[in-house]
């Protein structure tokens, strides 16, 4: 078996906050193979973004990461800044939820794209311009030549998102980390961008980590899905198994809360009653116990570890295999 492209082991993230600290991510282990798309799903605050920030060396100042992250066999967790800058531009591309956060506001979009290519791929200006226009064209960015000289704020949200994807893709990275890349966009543009990501998966060897709170997005794009709750992985498996035989009550509840394709998109998400626990005061037992409809006495005192439910499917629930 060849080594995975990315292997994350026991990744934990802690933040120092006023009067203490909190565990935003705890003992997260997963890997991503070449060309594979792994989805990370979970409600807001479950640790999806900070897991990826940690592995990219982009945690906020008050955060610290422990564990191990190997990329192409090389340890990158807490690697020197220079090394991470190179990997980020060259081998791992990132797309953020907020396109303004991923772009430099005072630089024309053409300059930003070309700069990345000159810096990371050693292209000259003409080569960089040609490649940048080519990528924008692939992304069906309207009138790329005319818009090359525009600043990010002059573009619509959908166009800005495409520029950020172009920036992430231009250097032909091995891995793209997309953090809710379509959340802020209207439905039509969301669909176009997802279609594009699906095409990228079909036609290239680019691996994708897709962070989303939307199971529909995961279903469309991902080979495997990781479900996170209160900083921990509670379930992971092949996408078909996650949908057809979800094991963890949290995954089951999330799936029930996912609107069906034929339902009214404006009806709003039926929420799971209750709230996630305070990360500063996590309960001794299962973090989901207070919201779980299948809770047992044991769940309040003992934390269920991740266990194989079947095949390579993992779930952190004492009821594994019983549902």
Ligand X SMILES: Nc1ncnc2c1ncn2[C@@H]1O[C@H](COP(=O)(O)OP(=O)(O)O)[C@@H](O)[C@H]1O
**Residues lying near ligand X in the complex (CB under 6 A):** 15, 17, 22, 24, 42, 44-50, 60, 62-63, 279
Whose CB is nearest to ligand X?
49
Give min distance, CB of 52 to Mg ion, in A.
9
Which of Mg ion, ligand X, none lies near 217, with the C-beta cut-off 5 to 8 A by kind?
A: none
Please name which of 79, 1, 67 lies closest in space to residue 34, comparing C-alpha atoms: 1
Q: How far apart are CA 2 and CA 176, in angstroms?
A: 20
Give min distance, CB of 36 to ligand X, in A.
21
| CB-nearer residue toward ligand X: 180 or 220 | 180
Whose CB is nearest to Mg ion?
49
Give min distance, CB of 209 to Mg ion, in A.
12
**Which of 46, 49, 161, 190: binder of Mg ion (CB under 5 A)?**
49
Helical (H) or strand (E) element with 220: helix 215-221
Q: How far apart are CA 70 and CA 58, in angstroms?
A: 16
| CB-nearer residue toward ligand X: 61 or 260 | 61
Q: In degrees rounded to 5, what are phi and psi of residue 25?
A: -140, 135
Please name which of 140, 208, 141, 156 lies closest in space to residue 177, comparing C-alpha atoms: 208
Give min distance, CB of 179 to Mg ion, in A.
6
Q: How far apart are CA 198 and CA 220, in angstroms?
A: 8
Give min distance, CB of 11 to ligand X, in A.
12
Q: For residue 78, is it left (φ>0), alpha (ψ between -120 and 50) or beta? A: left
Which of Mg ion, ligand X, none lies near 62, with the C-beta cut-off 5 to 8 A by kind?
A: ligand X
| CB-nearer residue toward Mg ion: 49 or 315 | 49
| CB-nearer residue toward Mg ion: 97 or 236 | 97
Q: 55 exposed, middle or buried (CB, 10 Å; 0-12, 13-18, 19+)? A: buried
The site for Mg ion (CB under 5 A) is made up of 49
């Amino acid at each position: 078996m060849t080594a995975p492209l990315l292997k994350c082991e026991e990744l934990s993230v802690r933040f120092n906050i006023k009067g203490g600290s909190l565990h935003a991510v705890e003992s997260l282990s997963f890997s991503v193979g070449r060309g594979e798309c792994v989805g990370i799903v979970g409600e807001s605050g479950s640790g999806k973004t900070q897991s990826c920030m940690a592995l990219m060396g982009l945690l906020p100042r008050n955060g610290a990461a422990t564990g191990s992250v190997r990329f192409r066999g090389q340890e990158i967790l807490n690697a020197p800044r220079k090394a991470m800058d190179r990997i980020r531009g060259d081998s791992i591309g990132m797309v953020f939820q907020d396109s303004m956060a991923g772009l430099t506001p005072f630089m024309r979009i053409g300059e930003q794209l070309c700069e990345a290519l000159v810096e990371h791929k050693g292209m000259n200006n003409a080569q960089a311009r040609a490649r940048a226009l080519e990528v924008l064209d692939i992304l069906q960015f309207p009138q790329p030549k005319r818009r090359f000289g525009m600043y990010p704020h002059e573009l619509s949200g959908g166009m800005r998102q495409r520029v950020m994807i172009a920036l992430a893709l231009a250097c032909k990275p091995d891995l793209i980390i997309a953090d809710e890349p379509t959340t802020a966009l209207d439905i039509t543009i969301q669909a176009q961008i997802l279609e594009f990501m699906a095409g990228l998966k079909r036609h290239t060897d680019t691996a994708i980590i897709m962070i989303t709170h939307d199971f529909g997005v995961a279903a469309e794009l991902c080979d495997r899905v990781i479900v996170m709750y209160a900083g921990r992985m509670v379930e992971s498996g092949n996408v078909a198994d996650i949908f057809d035989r979800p094991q963890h009550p949290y995954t089951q509840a999330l799936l029930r809360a996912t609107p069906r394709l034929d339902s009214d998109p404006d009806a709003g998400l039926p929420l799971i009653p209750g709230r996630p626990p305070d990360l500063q005061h996590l309960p001794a037992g299962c973090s989901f116990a207070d919201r779980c409809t299948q809770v047992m006495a044991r769940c309040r005192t003992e934390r269920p570890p991740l266990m194989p439910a079947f095949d390579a499917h993992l779930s952190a629930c004492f009821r594994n295999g019983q549902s």
